[in-house]
Amino acid sequence: MAISTLGLAIGVGLTVLVVLAHFSTGTGWGPAQDISDQILERRAETVPETEFPEPMNRAIGAGGGAATAVPAGEAGELQEGEGEAVEEDDGPWTLSDDEAETVEIEFAKEGETIEVKENETLLDAGEDEGWDLPYACRQGQCVSCGGRIADGPAEDFVVHDDQEMLDEDELGDGYTLTCVAYPQSDFTLETRETP
């Protein structure tokens, strides 16, 4: 019976506490006010006005800036160098076999003179003969395929398609990158030669 009385007392006590908590005024805490609009407005005031259309990614809070800004000027006006047609790729490599002239190249170390179309690289022409000529990138970006034109400056005899390795002096000494060299006239080539 004593236990029942104690349990009843505890139950009543808890009920009173819950009722008091329900009607209390609390701590006065409430969620913070959303001030994001105010911040955006303040930032907008600090961004200078421009006379040109804003690029899409220069919206407030989205980054962007000078690197992405459209140059000043009249709407639709092209700036210097802008909108110019890309120079056409009109090297001998664009010629069809019917259009391409044929020249005679003496491969000195191989001991043969062969006919090569001007739309074919020296390396390809040599490989077509079955010669195991050196190469790596086949894009004019190393010197693995290097050779030397014995008759004079390389660019008097070949057109290079985008070679990036030989400087003016080396070209002047007759060095060529056979993987990107298209012959323009007859000459003697020493393969496996690099500056």
* Shortest Å, Cβ 117 to ligand FES: 19
The contact set with ligand FES (CB under 6 A) reads 135-138, 140-142, 144-145, 177, 179
Cβ-based nearer residue to ligand FES, 12 or 136: 136
Cβ-based nearer residue to ligand FES, 141 or 188: 141
Cβ-based nearer residue to ligand FES, 69 or 137: 137
* Shortest Å, Cβ 140 to ligand FES: 5
* Shortest Å, Cβ 175 to ligand FES: 11
The DSSP secondary structure of the chain, one letter per residue, reads -HHHHHHHHHHHHHHHHHHHHHHS------PPP--HHHHHHHHHHHSPP-SSPPPGGGSTTS---GGGPPPSSSTTPPPTTTTPPPPP--SGGGS-TTT--EEEEEETTTTEEEEEETTS-HHHHHHHTT-----SSSSSSSSTTEEEETTS-GGGTEEESS--S--HHHHHTTEEEGGGEEE-S-EEEEES---
* Shortest Å, Cβ 151 to ligand FES: 21
Cβ-based nearer residue to ligand FES, 47 or 136: 136
